[in-house]
Structure 1
């Protein structure tokens, strides 16, 4: 291979051009240039410092530059080729710095990928020029990995088992953990006991007599299998954030303020605040740990995603799991299932007014107990029914990121009617791809780490993301006060209320029920709030007009001088 470089400079650059061109055309490369490998590796980069190869678009950007340089210099002298090499090495180093600055590193305890999958960029740093992913898929190799998995998602477990024997490539695809996770969550709605992997969990539940001691489900690593898409889930499950990312804290913190101060400075202007010391008297804060909860309700089933799991089984799951989207215990009926849990906390005084209470048992879901391991949480969303919320951490800690209603977070794409939201698959993926961009935004997000004993107020309409930094337990409630009543009524009477409203079966009639109940309990309240809101808007328009006049006059004043 090195003998290739005794030829003319034109031949060498042709090798670069041919190699890169074949990459863009997805054609197998028959030869490998160790000199090109040097260019890509730059200053002796090692595998664990190749984060830029984890997403193919970055490699494409880099190789696109290489391609342009090659085209521009195909007929130049050897001296020019050396300058090209230096430039490319500089580009590689620059790419590496851009990515490592994103704040992530792989956990030191992270195992290698179960089936040996590597990011696609590694193919172009490997002596092997063939991706076993393509050779094993046959005619299906032209399909994207995502589409292949979508197709496999229609198969049952038996079909996946048979397909796994077709080739090494199909073995890797059919053992992709999210496929088996979906099978478990779709078929084992009454609960399950996690067995270290989703495939083992499914087999143990559906085939209880299966002999696991024989290690029949043991997996092997496939060599030279490269896929960004399949590698992504492993990557997200094994990344950790730099401490300085968690230290960003620009939320207003208050201790011991009055209800009037809270309403005036935060609830009325619709601004987040972190409240300290307001749940110090909770029994939950003193008692709720694993031992206490398992003893109290370890055999009680709670809502975990789409399934019901015994609390003891959920704790065992959270001890073993290492995945990009750990299941989150999020149950709206916890106090009905275990009344003592409801007795061991009380609503902080700042949120005592909740007008949805006029509906009694017909009110939408409004309170939840939340538990999850490190890495679990909620991706960007706006709380349901235009309500405000408070979230109290009892154990652990949570990273919060909040954007005001008029700022859609990067990477988040709500539908025009707000009924659906497209966003990255996992919270970690959002951090990987979009967190860094917020540093350059004029309107910075509100960020904080909320620890045990602290309560965060989430105003209505605010986008927020939450990730557990350690195993955490929390209580959260959504509520409607007079400051937010008109917003909620407007939301409930939208034409697509049957799609937007949540937490109740009677979505279409919720507006009429709620409005009638408010008018019966608080006669004239809606009219009075509407009158005050109209006065506020008129006052704002007047202020806005005189501000513009003042600006114009000021401009004229400066100009006259």
Structure 2
């Protein structure tokens, strides 16, 4: 597989080639050039080409966040090896006979080990040191071993060590020292760092083709959007919510205190500990607080919002207490979100942003998003590891599709209606707080 750097370079060359071909004018009379200054003509053409290439550089290149640290262990993309012909990939020499395995398979095997075994294996070679310190391995160990909550401590490995209570290894956040390994090249390991530190490109955010409505009647909503199964962004329909005025970090932490824990993936965690995690973390797939029992845990939260008038006719309600989970409070840092999926049980959904902003990408039921591979029965969906990875590798493909996705940025005070069967992806552009509910429309 080509490295990210090489693929990016090749894509830029291909794009420029297309541009150059387009610049040729088949109707141009070559004899007209006789009366022109050839140097001037060449200079103008070269100048235009340079401007064109600079424009392409802007469109094709990716930008790393200005605050991004270098890779913790010095991992480089495999393409860099081709620019250092005298180098030998220490990834291969340190793995011995296991070097024939893919990086993904090596990590899958290491995923069966406990923390102590990973620590021992890290001492075998520089290569094993890099692999065994791959943060997702330690993240999985924390989430498996501390389901009642944890306090994030600068890295997942440090969090695991401190949570285990090893007295000699207690480390303050940010004090963990890591070795940087020279000449270690791996696209797979580098991509985790890249996706965690990549800026959202402007072109990923600029398309906004959703219908926006303010003050429409319920009858208009039903006729123009619900019955025809069409997304819409509604403005002004939650202006009376107390949640819109009250829900920020301080209010929620004070209201929930130390006695209430919220669902974050497989663990239950205090809200202040979750915010402590989100302040420190920089990873490819930040944990998302997604709790279906928030109103039961903290009844006041359930009283500070109400279902918008457009969604109050809900056939799910006939199930009473047998109704499956249907409403959630959602909190997450920038970069967190949900990859492509279709809501279960043929439900539609509404999502109201209370703080922050979210980028939405939606495809109709008959269009499977690029890079997404559902099983024949739709029960499972294979897709890129992270949302940023999807934008990097597949978003550009939608430009030339006849059925382009519906896209928008939903901001605080706005509500998006997601019709039944629609594929949708959402990523938080900043720390965001939202309420969402699934319902069965007519």
TM-score, scaled to structure 1: 0.69
The higher-RCO structure (CA 8 Å, 6+ apart) is 2
- Counterpart residue number, 2:107: 149
Q: Distance in 2 between matches of 1:211 and 1:164?
A: 16
Question: Residue 319 of structure 2 aligns with which residue?
Answer: 359
What is the deviation of 1:55?
5.6
How big is the shift at 1:356? 1.1
- Answering whether residue 134 of structure 2 is matched by residue 183 of structure 1, we say no
Distance 1:345 1:273 in 2: 20
Distance in 1, matches of 2:176 and 2:107, equals: 21
Equivalent residue, structure 2, for 1:207: 165
Summarize deviations over 1:176-231 as a string: whole Å, max 9, x none. 00100111111111110000100000001012523435999521100000000000
CA distance in 1, matches of 2:350, 2:356: 17
More helix by share: 1
For 2:270 and 2:11, the matched residues in 1 are separated by 48
Distance (Å, rounded) in 2 between the aligned partners of 1:380 and 1:200: 32
What SS does the aligned partner of 2:359 have?
A: strand
Correspondence 1:54 to 2:4: yes
Equivalent position SS for 1:183: helix
Q: Which runs of 5+ in 1 are unaligned?
A: 1-23, 25-51, 63-93, 484-561
Does the 8 Å contact 2:221/2:310 carry over to 1?
Answer: yes
For 1:315-363, what per-residue CA distance to the aligned partner results, in whole angstroms no more than 9, with x for missing partners? Answer: 0000000001000000000000000000000000000011111111110
1:273 and 2:223 aligned: no
Instruction: Quote the residue 1:257 is aligned against.
Output: 216
Which residue of 124, 129, 132 corresponds with 2:90? 132
Task: Give 1:105 shift.
Answer: 1.0
Q: Deviations over 1:270-316 (max 9, x none)?
A: 00000000000000000000010010014221000111110000000
Contact 2:161 2:169 in 1 (8 A): no
SS at match of 2:409: strand
8 A contact 2:110–2:132 mirrored in 1: yes
Kept in 2: contact 1:412–1:422 (CA 8 A): yes
Q: In structure 1, how many angstroms separate the alpha carbons of the residues matched to 2:275 and 2:410?
A: 22
- Indicate whether 1:307 and 2:267 are aligned: yes
Q: CA deviation at 1:98?
A: 7.1
Helix, strand or coil: the match of 2:234? strand
Q: CA deviation at 1:244?
A: 3.9
Determine the structure 1 residue equivalent to 2:344: 384
For 1:387 and 1:459, how far apart are their aligned partners in 2?
A: 8
- Give the aligned partner of residue 232 of structure 1: 191
* Aligned equivalents of 2:375, 2:342: Cα separation in 1: 13
Moved more, 207-216 or 104-113: 207-216
Corresponding pairs, count: 402
1:457-488: per-residue Cα shift (whole Å, max 9, x none)?
A: 0000000000000000000000012x2xxxxx
Provide the secondary structure at the position in 1 that maps to 2:93: helix
Q: Following TM superposition, by how much is the alpha carbon of 1:262 offset from its aligned partner in structure 2, in angstroms?
A: 0.2
Please give the root-mean-square deviation of Cα atoms over the aligned residues, in Å. 2.2
After TM superposition, the score normalised by the length of structure 2 is 0.87
Equivalence for 1:246: 205
Which residue of the partner structure matches residue 283 of structure 1? 242
Q: C-alpha separation between the residues in 2 aligned to 1:182 and 1:101?
A: 36
Matches for 1:412-427 after TM superposition, within 5 Å: 412-427=372-387
Q: Which residue of structure 2 lines up, in the alignment, with residue 463 of structure 1?
A: 423
Q: Can you give the 5+ residue segments of structure 2 that lack an aligned partner in the other structure? A: 13-51
Q: Given the alignment of the two structures, is residue 293 of structure 1 paired with residue 252 of structure 2, yes or no?
A: yes
Query: Offset at 1:127?
Result: 5.0
Distance 2:371 2:53 in 1: 21
For residue 294 of structure 1, give the secondary structure of its aligned residue in structure 2. Answer: helix
CA distance in 1: counterparts of 2:54 and 2:289, whole angstroms: 38
| 1:408 Cα offset (Å) | 0.2
Secondary structure, aligned partner of 1:411: coil
Q: Do 2:339 and 2:387's aligned partners in 1 also have CA atoms closer than 8 Å?
A: yes
Q: Distance in 2 between matches of 1:454 and 1:151?
A: 45
Whether contact under 8 Å (1:356, 1:479) holds in the other structure is yes
The secondary structure found in structure 2 opposite 1:241 is coil
Q: Distance in 1 between matches of 2:253 and 2:168?
A: 29
Contact 1:272–1:459 at 8 Å: present in 2 too?
Answer: yes
Q: Which residue of 2 aligns with 1:442?
A: 402
Larger radius of gyration: 1
